[in-house]
Amino acid sequence: MAECLAELHRARQPFRVFDSGLAVSIFRDKSTRTRFSFASAVNALGLGLAELDEEKPQLAHGETVRETANP
């Protein structure tokens, strides 16, 4: 799949795979390039992005990522 997407990218063809959906970003590293690359890929594939920030209230007070992800 990665090779197919790379070929489409090289050919400057769209490679939107999803009509809708959500990707959740859970990065513990503060890397700007990694976050930007992930967000760009999510957008190119046709997904929306939600970023989980572990420094926000519940996670900062001991709630685990697993607990936060469960509805």
* Tens digits of residue pLDDT in 17-57: 899 999 988 877 778 888 899 999 999 999 999 987 766 65
Query: What is the value of pTM for the model shown?
Result: 0.64
Q: What is the pLDDT of residue 61?
A: 63
- DSSP secondary structure code for residue 14 in this structure: -
Q: What is the pLDDT of residue 56?
A: 60
Per the model's pLDDT, the better-predicted residue between 21 and 67 turns out to be: 21
Closest C-alpha among 12, 14, 19, 15 to residue 47: 19
